[in-house]
Amino acid sequence: MIFITLPCDINHKNRKLAISKNLPDMTKQNSIIVALIISSTFFNNPLTFVANCNTNNGVDDKIKVNLELVADHITGPTVLANAGDGSNRLFICEQPGTIKIIKDNKLLAEPFLDIKSRVMSINPFYDERGLLGLAFHPNYKNNGRFFIYYSIPSVEGDGYNHKNILCEYKVSSSNPDKALMDETILMTINEPEMNHDGGQLCFGSDGYLYIGVGDGGGAGDRHGTIGNGQNLNVFQGKILRIDVDKEKPYSIPPDNPFIGKDAKAEIWCYGMRNPWKFSFDKQSGKIFCGDVGQDKYEEVDIIEKGKNYGWRIMEGLHCYNPSTNCNQDGLTLPISEYSHDVGNCIIGGYVYNGKKIPELKGKYIFGDWSGKLFYLSSDNIGLWLRYPLFVNTIGSENIGININSLGEDENGEIYVLTQKTTGPKSTSGAIYRITK
* pLDDT, tens digit (0-9, with 9 covering 90-100), for 189-214: 999 999 999 999 999 999 999 999 99
Instruction: Say whether pTM exceeds 0.85.
Output: yes
* 239 touches 212 (CB < 8 A): yes
Give the model's pLDDT for residue 54.
45
- Model confidence at 61, in pLDDT bands (50, 70, 90)? low
**How many angstroms separate the CA atoms of 56 and 61, rounded?**
7
Whether residue 322 is preceded by a cis peptide bond, meaning omega within 30 degrees of 0, is yes
- Model confidence at 393, in pLDDT bands (50, 70, 90)? confident
The mean pLDDT value of the chain amounts to 89
**How many angstroms separate the CA atoms of 291 and 297, rounded?**
10
Average of per-residue pLDDT across 264-287: 98
Average of per-residue pLDDT across 239-249: 98
- Model confidence at 10, in pLDDT bands (50, 70, 90)? very low
Give the model's pLDDT for residue 381.
87
Average of per-residue pLDDT across 236-259: 98
**How many angstroms separate the CA atoms of 416 and 366, rounded?**
9
